[in-house]
């Protein structure tokens, strides 16, 4: 198989015209992120999946950064597969879920062996269980998935529309404060963004920034965020990434800015 990489624009959005042009007859599968964990860019996955379906292309959407922060209607998106992870939605690590169209699950062979994924076993042959059970071999992470269910219920009770509105309010405040900082560069400023901000400060390495902010009680992530080619595109070795959620406050944004001012002085 050959992997083609979709192009992006300088502000971190997908180049949709280039993406459509790349959907040639030999393309079998298109994988796209709903929300970028690096840039916060919200991709128009509904439109992308509609274009792919017209061409008979199977679509896989990574919703890990989307589901915790906005209302997601998988049926309306029209994808073939939609994946999420538990730890980004207030759930336990090591948990996640895959939504898939029944026809694909029925057609796909199992990839793991173990209890519950078979109907019958003999020395003459094996009859696999029906989907989804044929993909869930062995003893499941029972405690973890109970926790994931509780996390999902919690987000439902909060209301995903309320979560999205709250985070948009926090993001607007955060961006306003960051743009006042001389020498600070935000990486990725697409028009449609979630509350994830990657940034750099002139003359300071991202790891140094993150370490010193940590000493001030502020947690950010530094590095390449499991997206090396993306940072190569922007010509940077690493960034600091601040991620806001519904439980953050405007006071915490002010605390972040106070800490950042102190760190900048330390770094000269």
From the list 77, 114, 70, the residue with the least C-alpha distance to 99 is 77
Task: Respond yes or no: is residue 226 known to be catalytic.
Answer: yes
| Distance, CA of 226 to CA of 230 (rounded, Å) | 9
Q: List for the chain the helix, strand, coil content (%; round to 5).
A: 40, 20, 40
Cβ contact 52:79 at 8 Å: no
β pairing state of 221-223 and 196-201 = unpaired
How many residues make up the chain in this entry?
268
Q: 68-81 burial string, b = 16+ CB within 10 Å, else e?
A: bbbebebeebbbbb
67-162-90-132 Cα dihedral, nearest 10 degrees: -40
Cβ contact 188:40 at 8 Å: yes
For residue 195, how many other CB atoms are within 10 A of its CB? 24
Cβ contact 193:39 at 8 Å: yes
Token pair listed for 97? 């879920």
Q: Among residues 49, 79, 90, 226, which one is catalytic? A: 226
Phi then psi for residue 29, to 5 deg, are -145, 140
Cβ contact 171:193 at 8 Å: yes
Token pair listed for 51? 């274009």
List the catalytic residues. 226
């Amino acid at each position: 198989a050959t992997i083609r990489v979709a192009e992006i624009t300088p502000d971190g959005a997908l180049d949709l015209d280039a993406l459509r042009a790349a959907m040639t007859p030999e393309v079998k599968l298109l994988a796209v992120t709903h929300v970028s964990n690096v840039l916060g860019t919200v991709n128009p996955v509904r439109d992308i999946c509609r274009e792919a379906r017209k061409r008979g292309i199977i679509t896989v959407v990574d919703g890990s950064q989307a589901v915790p922060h906005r209302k997601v209607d998988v049926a309306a998106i029209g994808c073939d597969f939609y994946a999420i992870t538990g730890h980004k939605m207030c759930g336990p690590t090591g948990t996640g879920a895959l939504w898939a169209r029944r026809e694909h699950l029925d057609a796909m062979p199992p990839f793991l062996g173990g209890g519950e994924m078979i109907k019958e076993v003999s020395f003459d042959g094996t009859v696999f269980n029906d989907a989804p059970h044929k993909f869930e071999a062995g003893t499941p992470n029972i405690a973890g998935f109970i926790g994931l269910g509780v996390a999902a219920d919690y987000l439902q009770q909060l209301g995903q529309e309320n979560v999205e509105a709250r985070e948009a309010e926090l993001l607007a405040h955060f961006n306003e404060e960051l743009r006042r900082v001389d020498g600070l560069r935000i990486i990725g400023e697409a028009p449609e963004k979630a509350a994830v901000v990657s940034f750099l400060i002139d003359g300071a390495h991202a790891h140094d920034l993150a370490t010193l902010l940590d000493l001030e009680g502020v947690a950010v992530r530094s590095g390449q965020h499991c997206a090396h080619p993306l940072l190569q595109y922007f010509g940077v070795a690493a960034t600091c990434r601040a991620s806001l959620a519904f439980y953050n406050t405007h006071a915490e944004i002010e605390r972040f800015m106070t800490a950042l001012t102190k760190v900048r002085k330390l770094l000269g």
